[in-house]
């Protein structure tokens, strides 16, 4: 670990150390047994890992026995350690999209919904999917949710949902779904509502699982058709027409937890690359003693420290109760770009070995490349931050003019 930040609390230290010990001692030795060149590890393998996590008392470690959730700084301390292996988040039940969905259900769900939908996720016996993004070929919602084409119309005491979704992580094999659809509040504004559903459902059909560059998430990423899905009114998540607001409740913490997990992966990749550079000799000395190699590892150490600091800063803002929309955009850009540099240099340091499956470095490189797009591409976040800079500038000018 980088060791640049003190643990945020005694309980986070205890949980985080237990998670790290489990990942290093139990999960990492099983990496070679994980299926490769697939959309992600199968559910049977994931359940084997989760049984081991349950025995080690590290299953869903960020949600405590009484249902309380670690704060964001504490969550970071734990999730970074779960990410030391690509299999760690799967084993510990801290992976996406379940971690974000559990957070949202905990914040917005009713008592009945928590018992029915949240409890199986926390127990690690079920996976979930979040149905928001739509196919670009349909001119549907991507980074701009206001373009949502999927609709939900009221029919008696049920809502009927029709549409298509894309890049739905884990839809294949999921047991819980959160579906976001456009609804009419009668005021002429574009509104959306979130609906809970048990899966599988014959009205939700997976067209295909996409062949993507990453391979760490069970079920992969699917294009889905929703045809006449009937949802009882009591299975609305939160209130009708508040879907965009709830998406913001989920997105910042979920975006940041991606940063946490993949920081853990890149810390491990740096460990592997450093070990290789210290053991491998060329031209009469270890690779690390060659300036070109040693400097790459030094630059990685700097990027890792900056990424951890950025995560801690954004987590601290979230812990004040702020939505941290701008802060999470900054963190997503800074961390994903820094980790891409780290992963790339780890591959480069290891030469031919770095592009093989002999270590996880090659997989980390692929996963981090996808991370630069998932939960908002770098360019979208920069555009959002630029718009905020313009708004702040206008507000400042107006305030000065009125002074």
CATH number of the domain that residue 357 is part of: 1.20.140.10
The answer on 50 and 22 residing in a single domain is yes
Sign of the torsion formed by the C-alpha atoms of 327, 328, 333 and 338: positive
At which of 204, 221, 242 does a domain end?
242
Look at residue 145 in the predicted model and tell me its pLDDT: 85
The answer on 175 and 29 residing in a single domain is no
In-domain check, residue 253: yes
Look at residue 66 in the predicted model and tell me its pLDDT: 80
What single DSSP character describes residue 359? S
The answer on 312 and 297 residing in a single domain is yes
The answer on 173 and 99 residing in a single domain is no
The answer on 260 and 388 residing in a single domain is yes
pTM of the model: 0.94
Tokens 């899966």 sit at which residue? 199
324 phi, psi to nearest 5 deg: 55, 40
Look at residue 218 in the predicted model and tell me its pLDDT: 93
Q: Between 243-279 and 361-371, two packed helices, what is the crossing angle to 10 degrees? A: 150
In-domain check, residue 318: yes
The answer on 55 and 23 residing in a single domain is yes
The answer on 323 and 204 residing in a single domain is no
CATH number of the domain residue 178 falls in: 2.40.110.10
Q: Which domain holds residue 15?
A: 10-122
Q: What share of the chain is helix, strand, coil (3-state, %, to 5)?
A: 55, 15, 30
The answer on 185 and 309 residing in a single domain is no
The answer on 378 and 273 residing in a single domain is yes
In-domain check, residue 305: yes
Q: How many domains does the chain have?
A: 3
What is the CA angle 288-81-311, rounded to 5?
A: 90
Closest CA to 207 of 188, 217, 220, 192: 220
At which of 90, 122, 154 does a domain end?
122
The answer on 300 and 177 residing in a single domain is no
The answer on 91 and 143 residing in a single domain is no
Closest CA to 47 of 91, 81, 85: 91
At which of 195, 210, 242 does a domain end?
242
In-domain check, residue 3: no
pLDDT tens-digit readout, 354-403: 999 999 999 999 999 999 999 899 999 999 999 999 999 999 988 888 76
In-domain check, residue 208: yes
Positions in the chain whose pLDDT score sits under 70: 1-4, 35-38, 403
134 touches 150 (CB < 8 A)? yes
In-domain check, residue 1: no
Look at residue 2 in the predicted model and tell me its pLDDT: 61
């Amino acid at each position: 670990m980088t060791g640049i930040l003190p643990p945020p609390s005694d309980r986070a230290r205890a949980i985080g150390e237990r998670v790290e010990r489990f990942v290093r001692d139990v999960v990492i030795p099983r990496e070679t047994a994980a299926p490769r060149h697939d959309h992600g590890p199968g559910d049977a393998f994931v359940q084997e890992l989760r049984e081991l996590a349950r025995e080690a008392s590290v299953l869903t470690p960020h949600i405590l026995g009484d249902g309380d959730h670690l704060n964001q700084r504490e969550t970071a301390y734990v999730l970074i350690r779960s990410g030391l292996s690509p299999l760690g988040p799967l084993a510990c039940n801290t992976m996406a999209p379940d971690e974000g969905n559990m957070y949202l259900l905990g914040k917005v769900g009713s008592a009945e919904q928590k018992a029915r939908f949240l409890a199986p996720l926390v127990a690690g016996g079920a996976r979930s999917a979040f149905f928001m993004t739509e196919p670009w070929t349909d001119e549907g919602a991507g980074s701009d949710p206001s373009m949502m084409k999927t609709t939900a119309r009221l029919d008696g005491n049920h809502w009927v949902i029709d549409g298509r979704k894309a890049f739905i992580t884990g839809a294949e094999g999921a047991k819980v779904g959160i579906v976001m659809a456009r609804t009419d509040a009668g005021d002429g504004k574009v509104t959306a509502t979130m609906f809970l559903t048990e899966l599988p459902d014959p009205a939700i059909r997976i067209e295909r699982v996409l062949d993507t560059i990453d391979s760490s998430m069970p079920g992969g990423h699917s294009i889905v058709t929703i045809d006449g899905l009937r949802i009882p009114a009591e299975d609305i998540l939160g209130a009708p027409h508040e879907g965009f607001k709830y998406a913001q409740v989920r997105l910042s913490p979920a975006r940041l937890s991606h940063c946490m997990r993949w920081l853990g992966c890149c810390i491990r990749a740096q460990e592997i690359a450093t070990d290789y550079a210290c053991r491998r000799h060329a031209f009469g000395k270890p690779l690390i003693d060659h300036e070109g190699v040693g400097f790459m590892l030094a630059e990685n150490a700097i990027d890792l420290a900056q990424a951890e600091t950025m995560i801690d800063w954004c987590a601290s803002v979230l812990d004040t109760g702020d939505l941290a929309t701008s802060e999470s955009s900054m963190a997503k850009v800074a961390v994903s770009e820094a980790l891409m540099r780290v992963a790339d240099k780890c591959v480069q340091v290891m030469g031919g070995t770095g592009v093989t499956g002999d270590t996880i470095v090659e997989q980390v490189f692929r996963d981090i490349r996808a991370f630069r797009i998932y939960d908002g591409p770098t360019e979208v976040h920069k555009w959002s931050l630029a718009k905020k800079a313009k708004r702040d500038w206008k507000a400042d000018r107006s305030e000065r003019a009125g002074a």
